[in-house]
Amino acid sequence: MIAAFGNENPEPKTVINPEGPSPSSPDDEPLFIRNTSFRRTSTGSGHPEDSSTKPLVSTAAAAAAYIMTSGEFLQAAPLFVRRSKRNLFYKILCFLTLIFQGGILDFYLIVFTDLYWCSWIATDLVVMTGWGIFFLKNGRSKRSLQHHKGSMHGCSLGEFTFAYLAWLIYVIACTPKVVLILETSILDLIELKVPLGTTGFKIIMMLSAPLLYCLINAIIEDLAGATRYHSQSCYISTCLDLVDSFTLIEMLLMNEIPTVYLKYTVIAVYFLVLSIPVLWLYELNASQLQCRWIWARFFSGVLVNVPLLVVRCFLVYSYQMPVSVFMFKNMFFLGCRCLELVEQCLMGSGGGRLASNPVQFSHCVSENDMCPHGYVNTLAVSTQN
């Protein structure tokens, strides 16, 4: 291929291959390339003095890798544009939800109390700033990861970097506002003087579920990866727990919780469920699942479902309230957590760490690169390493 270009001698050149007979065509030569520099004699006879082959693996592989990477980037560019637009859309939804929920709660607290209004607005500004820093740090960590991995596809590790901190900031800021409204006479004033009354307050409280959904989708890059499905399953489990605890919050708003101890238990479990995503967001950020995360899953499920089940059983047997379907949900989830713990302990008895994100790499080259030129691209990456 290269020897034919600029060759002054029409006679065919013989290629010496120490490994065996030479390939039939120049396109089938992945490891050896003809030497294009011919040293001629001083007489200028035109006959090459030496026509040898040299193993130029690194040069040829690097050139092939550069061509392949450029072509793949051009083909994948529209996909990255769609992903960036999708992530930007969900990031905007996150900020809009934060502003709306925080603004309405601030309105309740400022209008119906004599508390200083700057403190509540400053809290929302801190949350907004924290989420903005989180998105910047998350995007920077993804770019750094792609640069070090040397591959533009298949890297799902690091997608949830710092996400648990963003949700922790939100829970810390939202919890005192809602508790203050529930534990004071503000709730009665909301029912009397605000449109939608307590129904509007319920809607504001339940905005945490769509906010968590927007957070997950704002940072997901690999839409077909295992990490995305794992995060969706964790999100659905958290939503079920939120709905379960929120039904008891509704009974509390209608003064159907008979004792103060049950009332405090319901409020505590609701905010415990709201803080559970901090655990599995941090787990999704980890490259390997250690045994402590198995126990963390188990205890988080127990701390949520056992108090809810006890409260419902107490309401049914002591106050003759109707049996709720969520009692079966609590028992089923407790059974699932116990079976999961036993299964993981049996599987992890031979080793201390279990893989949570099985991402397959071939010298940092994804499966999308395994095309007819995939061998050359892999050779280039391994030569550079």
Q: How far is CA 116 from the centre of its chain?
A: 38
Question: 3-class DSSP state for residue 10?
Answer: coil
pLDDT of residue 87: 87
User: Which residue from 308, 208, 318 is spatially nearest to 265, judged by alpha carbons?
Assistant: 308
**What's the sign of the alpha-carbon dihedral 363, 368, 370, 372?**
negative
Reported pTM? 0.68
pLDDT digits (tens, 9 = 90+) for 23-62: 444 444 444 344 444 444 444 444 444 444 444 445 544 5
- Amino acid at the residue 29: E
pLDDT digits (tens, 9 = 90+) for 51-86: 444 444 455 445 444 444 444 444 444 555 666 788
Task: Report how far apart, in Å, the C-alpha atoms of 231 and of each of 142, 206, 279, 287 are.
Answer: 18, 20, 12, 14
pLDDT of residue 147: 55
Mean per-residue pLDDT, 268-281? 93
